[in-house]
A and B are shown apart, each in its own frame.
Chain A
Amino acid sequence: MSTPPTTTVPGVHRQRAFSAGRLLAWVVLLAMIAITLMPLWMVVKTGLMHPKDVYTSSTALFPPDPTWLNFKKVLGLISTEEALSLGGSGAQINFLRALGNSLLFTGIIVTLQTTSAAMASYAFARLRFPGRSTLFGLFVASMMVPGVVTFIPNFILIKDLGWLNTMAGMVAPFCLMQGFSVFFLRQFFLSVPRDLEEAALLDGASHLYIFWRVVLPLSITPLATIATLTGINMWNEFFWPYLVAKEELQQVLPVALQSFKSQTPQGQPDWTGLMAATAITVLPTVLLLMAFGRRVVESVQFSGGK
């Protein structure tokens, strides 16, 4: 196939630089950005409002009288009496505790699952052993089993082990096995040229040594990709922790936020407190994007089987 020189390619677009279609596309893109950011701004703005202003200024685009009161209240930095006098439910979210739980929950799973997946996928990609293709087939098939099938037996197992409301019970089903991670890393290992490994084998290095000293150092990028994806999914995981760890001290952030919401009276939720709690919970994700935006975006794009 003959490929025309790439330098002419931008010209195709440049001719249309000021076309109506391009303008329309910009309008759509900016509208999408506005639709994404507007709700987040309303959350922050409501969190900054004094509770007494909720009914008069709920739809104002800026807080009439900005205050940190709700944030302090939600973080438990003001006394209960003071919190109750603000008119809300006085409910608190044990934010630092939940943040710690979330970090621990995500950290344990990312570390163990990435390690276990890297080990298994190297064996599947490079070592010959009886049962290899059957086992790999089963691992890949496990991706098709929806969580809704395994959650009841897994819940019973965790309960029988006495692991309800423990970190062990929360991380157990996720920490050793994830079909997608094994599949993804095996693809990568298959694409690495064998030369280095064969040279090391001839020098008498063992497979384990080669895996640890030769292959893993070359695989930092795909490992980071899979760790990022697992991290995002686990940080946002609600269903399983909600089933096995509802007790306040063990709650991860999504569960804590849900229980904070359900504590507020039905007819008259504590909107300013709720929105302050929501804003605080959004913050770690925004910080992650600011620090590692490129890595996060590329990892997510890779998950599409690129």
Chain B
Amino acid sequence: MTPLNATRPAQATTFHKRPGSLSMSRRAETVTAWALVLPALIGFLVFYAWPTLRAIQISLTDWNLLRAPKFVGLDNYARMLDDGKFWNGMKLSAYYVLLNIPLQTVLGLFLAVAMDRLTRSLFVKSIVLLPYLLSNVLVAMIWLWMLDPFLGLINHYIVMAGFERMPFFGGLDSSLLTVAGVNIWRHMGLVAMLFLAGLQNIPRHLYEAAALEGATEWQMFRRVTLPLLRPVMVFVLVTSVTGSFQIFDTIAVTTNGGPLDSTRVIVHYIVQNAFAFYKMGYASAMSMTLCAVMVAYTVVQMRVMRANENDLA
């Protein structure tokens, strides 16, 4: 039997009438199922499964794409542990997450609560979401101009307020902070919209009951809103933390790792090793390490926050 048979309803009918048709229709079901899964399966095997295995293999070699790869065992991993720039990259990425996530999450939550109380306006929602709909490259362009040391509007106001000009992207201490700020601007609205969806799932009568008991706004937020937002919170934290640990685009467009490696985060260092130094093996070893860190973080975060349970159910 071929999958083609399955497209003819008339023939399928006859299966049910014949003795033994159950196993035949079962087989038809299996064949149909594999035919339906096939395109996605090809995509999965060619662009996820095989590359992942190949990345492990490449990470055990010395390979510059020109000569044949040379097997070097765990040398790349050993070298990585001694490479100050690798640790600098991991440290900067972790530091970046700390600069980025807490403020972004709190601002997004605050914005969501404000919108939940004040307005259902699609216009307001659209504006809040707009920065997230722009590419990282666009957002970087916008803020390169706003934060230009001499011509930018922000420095104009800083000087007007009587402070010194800020170098922003150009300063050793300010570059990573600036990238974090720019990405908070881009993602704050997204986080707000996700929280807003969660807030609107919370039954209103819970607030009513709390209000009757004389609860203050803060108590309602602390005792009702926050606990019931936990599933959304897990999603937001897992995706935004793993996403921001892998920050690359904004840095590639604005600072390109500088000044003096002050924004040479781990993904930027990996890409630099792969496509500027052609150290495919070494870059892959660092990628595998980063992947392990991300997976470990995700598992721990889901455990800690009991991601699979829902207090409303």
Contacts and interface: CB of A to CB of B under 8 A. Distances in A.
A4 B208 contact: yes
Nearest to B299: A144
Contact of A150 (B8, B48, B146): B48
Contact of B33 (A132, A255, A289, A301): A132
Interface centre among A129, A235, A293 (most CB of B within 10 A): A129
B36 A122 contact: yes
B47 interface: yes
B219 interface: no
B29 interface: yes
B304 interface: no
B136 A275 contact: no
Nearest to A275: B145
Contacts of A120: 36-37, 39-41
B151 interface: yes
B95 interface: no
Interface stretch (B9-17, B72-80, B97-105, B161-169): B9-17
B133 A148 contact: no
B142 A306 contact: no
Contacts of A51: none
Given A120-B36, A149-B288, A172-B47, A204 B10 contact: yes
Contacts of A33: 124, 127-128
Interface in B53-110: 54-55, 58, 65, 110
B290 A128 contact: no
Contact of B275 (A37, A146, A243): A243
Given A55-B151, A148-B287, A173 B47 contact: yes
A37 B208 CA distance: 36
A253 B10 CA distance: 50
B29 A127 contact: yes
Interface in A15-37: 16, 21-22, 25-26, 28-29, 32-33, 35-37
A138 B49 contact: yes
Contacts of A147: 246
B43 A176 contact: yes
Nearest to B249: A238
Contacts of A54: 151
Interface in B224-268: 231-232, 235-236, 242, 246, 248-249, 252-253, 267
B196 interface: yes
A192 B82 CA distance: 55
Contacts of A220: none
Nearest to A24: B114
A262 B144 CA distance: 13
Given A148-B287, A261-B253, A296 B6 contact: no
In this complex, the interface size class of chain A, counting residues with CB under 8 Å from chain B, is 35 or more
Contact of B51 (A130, A154, A242, A282): A154
A238 B287 CA distance: 19
Nearest to A29: B114
B33 A29 contact: no
A84 interface: no
Interface centre among B35, B40, B143, B274 (most CB of A within 10 A): B40
Contact of B291 (A146, A237, A243): A146
Nearest to B44: A177
The binding surface of chain B is classed by DSSP as helix
The binding surface of chain A is classed by DSSP as helix
A267 B109 CA distance: 40
A35 B185 contact: yes
Contact of A8 (B30, B46, B208): B208
A116 B145 contact: no
Nearest to A297: B125
Contact of A261 (B126, B141, B208, B235): B141
B135 interface: yes
Contact of A6 (B115, B125, B204): B204
B40 A117 contact: yes
A175 interface: yes
Contact of A128 (B29, B35, B115): B29
18 contacts: A26-B114, A42-B145, A58-B151, A123-B32, A123-B36, A135-B41, A146-B290, A146-B291, A149-B290, A177-B43, A235-B135, A238-B135, A257-B137, A271-B145, A289-B126, A293-B123, A294-B122, A300-B194
Given A177-B48, A257-B141, 13 more contacts: A4-B209, A32-B188, A36-B128, A36-B189, A59-B152, A123-B32, A135-B41, A150-B55, A176-B46, A204-B9, A278-B141, A286-B130, A304-B198
Interface of A: 3-4, 6, 8-9, 12-13, 16, 21-22, 25-26, 28-29, 32-33, 35-40, 42-43, 46, 54-55, 58-59, 112, 115-117, 119-120, 122-124, 127-130, 132, 135, 138-139, 142, 144-157, 172-173, 175-177, 182, 203-209, 211, 232, 235-239, 242-243, 253-255, 257-258, 261, 271, 274-275, 278, 281-282, 285-286, 288-289, 293-294, 296-297, 300-306
Interface of B: 3, 5-10, 12-13, 16, 26, 28-30, 32-37, 39-44, 46-52, 54-55, 58, 65, 110-111, 113-115, 117-119, 122-138, 141-146, 148, 151-153, 156, 185, 188-190, 193-194, 196-198, 201, 203-205, 207-209, 211, 217, 231-232, 235-236, 242, 246, 248-249, 252-253, 267, 270, 274-275, 280, 283-284, 287-288, 290-291, 294-295, 298
